[in-house]
Amino acid sequence: MDYKKYCDAVEQLNTWTKLYDEGNPLVPDTVWDRLYYDIFMYEKEHPENILSTSPTQTISYEVVFKLEKVKHNHLMLSLAKTKDLNEFSNFINKYPCILMPKLDGLTCSLHYQNGCLISAETRGNGEIGENILHNAKVIRNIPWTITYKDDLIIDGEVICTKENFAPFEKEYKNPRNFAAGSLRLLDNKECAKRNLSFIAWDVISSIDTQLSEKLAFIHTLGFDIVDFTTVYGEEVEKSIDEIKAWAEYQGWPIDGIVAKYNDVETYTAQGSTSHHFNGGLAFKFYDETYSTTLRDIEWTMGRTGQLTPVAIFDPVEIDGAICERASLHNISIMKQLLGKPYVGQKLEVSKRNMIIPQIEWAEKDV
């Protein structure tokens, strides 16, 4: 499609849409979908030529009153994590793997039926998430329609690139919290202003037998997919460095590297725990933090007679366990970290080395 054909297609589709809205559809939905997809693909390749009248640009904004809970049609579990490079290499040596960046955003699942986007859900607890379809529709690189007509479920990450996060960095701590908060907005007109992106990293369907083939296939449908590479154990450090460099070039926020068994049957055969799938492993660069709120300071007496302050905060799930307490070690560290111990103070909590709960940051100005 050249520019003239693109302009004609936009005019044609707008005419068909107007007739449809008036109750006088001129063409079947499949014909409308096909032309919309052609327009979408042209704009993806030539963003400098996008017309303001394009149907991809004329979004009907929507406000919802609350985010509905939805039960997933497939388990959306996490991955086991390690900070030990040897453990990561040993995992890769068992079966052929693909490596990809561990994107630092909010996991989201898209469901297409008959080529149309019908649902978008957050991961939640792995079984039940929240319906965010109204916000998914205003994320520019999520297509509303695709040419593939069978059932298709695509899991991925909604992120905010470092470039798009820059105007908001004085108000928000990091791109991950920003993306997660944006997806939970009730007014999708506000979400649209956040310039979020969806990056696909898994395909839940019967197509193909290799994850790499599945990702390559959905890329042809117009989805942005995670960068990945095949790897063997002896190449792991080099591959990690290459992936980190490419993610930096893309402006993607990442917090680790993911290895997954490429063969779908092999991956599935590993089974899962209640928390994570066994066919993949995440190598973490640093400890992940979680947002919560300080509720109290308790004091405990150690065997030496020393009083130790302990922060009590709203329960938060970290690596499958509920955490609601973390030692502040001593009065000096408590004052340095918290300032005045306000009730209601915002906290960022991690598990150091994924074992010991630790307060990493506190918002002193409450």
3-state secondary structure at position 227: coil
Number of Cβ atoms within 10 Å of the Cβ of 85:
12
Across 1-5, 65-69, 134-138, 193-197, least confident range? 65-69
How many angstroms separate the CA atoms of 100 and 201, rounded?
Answer: 8
What is the average per-residue pLDDT within 273-288? 83
**Domain 3-49: which CATH number of 1.10.287, 2.60.40, 3.30.70, 3.40.630:** 1.10.287
Q: Known catalytic residue: 173? A: no
What is the average per-residue pLDDT within 111-122? 92
How many angstroms separate the CA atoms of 215 and 201, rounded?
Answer: 7
What is the average per-residue pLDDT within 214-232? 91
How many angstroms separate the CA atoms of 280 and 52, rounded?
Answer: 43
Q: In the chain, pLDDT over 70 holds for what percent of residues?
A: 92
Equal CATH topology for 3-49 and 69-284: no
What is the average per-residue pLDDT within 273-297? 85
Nearest one of 262, 277, 286 to 107, comparing CA atoms: 277
Length of the chain: 366
Longest dimension (CA), the chain: 84
How many angstroms separate the CA atoms of 341 and 241, rounded?
Answer: 41
List pLDDT tens digits, range 175-209.
888 898 899 898 888 998 899 999 999 999 877 78
pLDDT of residue 14: 85
Number of Cβ atoms within 10 Å of the Cβ of 311:
26
Nearest one of 218, 35, 9 to 112, comparing CA atoms: 218
pLDDT of residue 169: 84
What is the average per-residue pLDDT within 146-169? 93
> Which listed residue (81, 83, 102, 244) is catalytic?
102
Across 20-34, 39-53, 126-140, 253-267, least confident range? 20-34
What is the average per-residue pLDDT within 83-108? 91
CATH class of segment(s) 290-362: mainly beta
Cβ atoms of residues 231 and 259 within 8 Å? yes
Q: Is beta strand 290-301 parallel, antiparallel or unpaired with respect to 307-318? A: antiparallel
DSSP string, 5-60: HHHHHHHHHHHHHHHHHTT---S-HHHHHHHHHHHHHHHHH-GGG--TTSTTT---
Domain ranges of the chain: 3-49, 69-284, 290-362
Q: Is beta strand 276-284 parallel, antiparallel or unpaired with respect to 78-82? A: parallel
pLDDT of residue 246: 92
How many angstroms separate the CA atoms of 11 and 288, rounded?
Answer: 48
CATH class of segment(s) 69-284: alpha beta
